[in-house]
Amino acid sequence: MLLEADWVLPISGPPMERGAVLVVDGTIEAVGPAAALRARHPGESVETFPGCALLPGLVNSHSHLEYSAFRGFTRARGFGSWMGRLLLARRKLDADDFAASALWGAYECARSGVTSIADTAFEGEAVVRAARAAGLRSRVYLEVFGLDDDRLPQTMARLEAGLARLQRECEGGGRDGCAGPGRGPKVEAGVSPHAPYTVSARLYREVARFARRAGLRVATHVAESRAEVDLLIRGTSAISQAYRAAHLWNGQKWSPPRSSPIRYVAAAGALGRETLVIHAVQVDADDIALLAMSEAAVAHCPRSNLRLRCGAAPAAEMMSVGVHVGLGTDSLASNENLDMFAEMRTALRVSVGRAASGARPRASKAEGVTPDEPCVSAALTPAAVLRMATLEGARALGWDHMIGSLEAGKRADIIAVALRSPESVSARARGSGPAQVDPVTELVGAATAADVRMTMVEGEVVCRGSALPAEVERAFRKVCAKLAPEG
């Protein structure tokens, strides 16, 4: 099959006007000028997307699809207050509700041009089933919590049992089953020690060791808010107050480590090239140096961070020293929607704002760490944030050998997105083509999820920009009704 469009954006190379992508058996066979590929492959079926750009499917490097029904349940507020409301509100839902919420979220991702997700989940099986139903390439990280080291054996036993169930669900086959040698499964399991304020140093260490022995990837929320930093340094903050109010810290044995969240996780041996650090907002130059040395990656969630008043992660500074940074929407409990184009625009805006203000991560002279002086406050570009949503996200998840760019040999995870600027529309009307249009700047600056015309995963079209299945919408609305919006 030949896919043709006004533009092809390979990401690994420059934009290509009037380009095409040849897809054979779920794999990209060739990328090049449409006329040349038509001539070389006269027997191939052709699908044309006029007024569109073809680009790699978007990679949402951090989501909580189980929380999709929490959309709009609270207004913007501080992290500790939000956490308290979320912990109480989630008790209104049962397992079936979370499953319906996850299913809606998975279909919404596909409709929005997301082909790959890295989701953290309390149980996980519902998310696996939802991702499979929507046809998404997915990794589902099973969350683990525990501050009381006296109960560490029981905690690890629960984790191993839960992970075994999750892996059995993953091995149930993709949308059409696993497709043969060299084609990785669409759904795989990982493990997520939740955060420094819910996971002891010993548990971090044991989970990291377990994951490495089992060949599993790890994701953990780290340095998201100032409240988290205060808790680890001083021992109390809005987070501890929220957890105590929800009766989740009764009898917990924990004392503050007096270090930054990044150094806490690093000292526990849980930072490595298999680790995805979620957020990394409250970091200094030493923390960034630790991330770079450990080869850990970062999931940047700028809209969630702003909504919860956490600040803006120094994404450009982290990338300048070699840290792979992907983009994520986080959950709809802390975001408006799952629109990765909106996430790109926000990432660009906050980065430009940091650069304009002269902000740069401070150095704290941590023992044994030499801050890398190039950690300057440079601004991201539209091309950089588009890479974060595609190839850099794939690298952050260890999937860049399969996805993230349009290159021969990679899996055919491809989306078609309408270009809708006045210049682009008028050029097409004149028949002169969109040569004067910068498609990267246009997509990052103006596109929305509603502009996605087609979503393909491994050569299979999973969505054509249509409405979600009616039964999915009905079940989702019933769940939302249980969560009264905040007045």
Query: What is the per-residue pLDDT for 367?
Result: 39
CB 54 within 8 A of CB 406: yes
CA distance linking residue 439 with residue 52, whole number of Å: 9
Which tops the pLDDT comparison, 487 or 3?
3
Residues 144 and 113 in one domain: yes
Residue 251 — very low, low, confident or very high, per pLDDT cuts 50/70/90? low
Residues 20 and 146 in one domain: no
Beta bridge partners of 21: 3, 31
Structural tokens at position 463: 């969505």
Asked if residue 195 belongs to a domain, the reply is yes
Average pLDDT along the chain: 89
Is the pLDDT reported for residue 177 higher than 60? Answer: no
Query: What is the per-residue pLDDT for 472?
Result: 96
CA distance linking residue 332 with residue 313, whole number of Å: 19
Query: What is the per-residue pLDDT for 78?
Result: 86
Query: What is the per-residue pLDDT for 189?
Result: 97
| Spatial CA neighbour of 195 closest among 236, 143, 255 | 143
Residues 366 and 423 in one domain: no
Q: In what order do the strands lie in the sheet with 16-24?
A: 27-33, 16-24, 2-8, 46-56, 414-418, 452-457, 460-463
| Spatial CA neighbour of 376 closest among 326, 333, 316 | 316
Query: What is the per-residue pLDDT for 421?
Result: 66
Asked if residue 474 belongs to a domain, the reply is no
| Spatial CA neighbour of 287 closest among 371, 373, 360, 359 | 371
Asked if residue 468 belongs to a domain, the reply is no
* Least confident among 29-43, 348-362, 376-390: 348-362
CA distance linking residue 100 with residue 121, whole number of Å: 14
Query: What is the per-residue pLDDT for 182?
Result: 33
Residues 367 and 293 in one domain: yes
List alpha helices for 174-301, DSSP H.
Answer: 201-214, 226-234, 238-245, 261-267, 285-294
CATH number of the structural domain spanning residue 449:
2.30.40.10
* Least confident among 99-108, 258-267, 372-381: 372-381
Residues 34 and 146 in one domain: no
Query: What is the per-residue pLDDT for 85?
Result: 84
Query: What is the per-residue pLDDT for 474?
Result: 96
Segment 358-368 shows an average pLDDT of 58
Structural tokens at position 339: 């629109």
Query: Which distant-in-sequence residues (6+ apart) come within 8 Å of 99 by Cβ?
Result: 126, 129, 130
Domain carrying residue 173: 58-396
CA distance linking residue 185 with residue 177, whole number of Å: 8
Structural tokens at position 320: 């300048």
Is the pLDDT reported for residue 271 higher than 80? Answer: yes
Asked if residue 402 belongs to a domain, the reply is no
Is the pLDDT reported for residue 90 higher than 70? Answer: yes
Q: Are strands 325-327 and 27-33 parallel, antiparallel or unpaired?
A: unpaired
Residue 371 — very low, low, confident or very high, per pLDDT cuts 50/70/90? very low
Residues 273 and 240 in one domain: yes
Query: What is the per-residue pLDDT for 241?
Result: 72
CA distance linking residue 428 with residue 252, whole number of Å: 64
**Sequence letter at residue 253:** K
Segment 252-277 shows an average pLDDT of 90
Query: What is the per-residue pLDDT for 248?
Result: 60
Residues 213 and 314 in one domain: yes
Query: What is the per-residue pLDDT for 443?
Result: 96
Asked if residue 477 belongs to a domain, the reply is no
Summarised one tens digit per residue, pLDDT across range 49-85 is 999 999 999 999 999 999 999 988 777 778 878 888 8
Summarised one tens digit per residue, pLDDT across range 275-333 is 999 999 999 999 999 999 999 999 999 999 999 999 999 999 999 999 999 999 999 99
Query: What is the per-residue pLDDT for 364?
Result: 52
Residues 46 and 77 in one domain: no
Is the pLDDT reported for residue 252 higher than 50? Answer: yes
Residues 345 and 441 in one domain: no
Residues 299 and 373 in one domain: yes
CA distance linking residue 8 with residue 206, whole number of Å: 45
Query: What is the per-residue pLDDT for 366?
Result: 42
CA distance linking residue 68 with residue 153, whole number of Å: 33
Is the pLDDT reported for residue 368 higher than 50? Answer: no
Check the CA dihedral 269-272-277-280 and report its sign. Answer: positive
For 111, 131, 236, 400, the CA distances from 452, given in Å and listed in that order, are 7, 19, 45, 23
CA distance linking residue 450 with residue 111, whole number of Å: 8
Asked if residue 407 belongs to a domain, the reply is no
Query: What is the per-residue pLDDT for 157?
Result: 97
Which tops the pLDDT comparison, 437 or 122?
122
Query: What is the per-residue pLDDT for 425?
Result: 46
Is the pLDDT reported for residue 184 higher than 90? Answer: no
Is the pLDDT reported for residue 179 higher than 60? Answer: no
Its pTM stands at: 0.91
CA distance linking residue 326 with residue 298, whole number of Å: 6
CA distance linking residue 10 with residue 222, whole number of Å: 32
Structural domain count, the chain = 2
CATH number of the structural domain spanning residue 331:
3.20.20.140
Residues 26 and 173 in one domain: no
From first CA to last CA, the distance across the chain in angstroms is 51
Is the pLDDT reported for residue 416 higher than 50? Answer: yes
Asked if residue 481 belongs to a domain, the reply is no
Q: What is the DSSP letter of 449?
A: G
At 226, which helix (H) or strand (E)?
A: helix 226-234
Residues 102 and 182 in one domain: yes
Query: What is the per-residue pLDDT for 352?
Result: 93
Asked if residue 72 belongs to a domain, the reply is yes
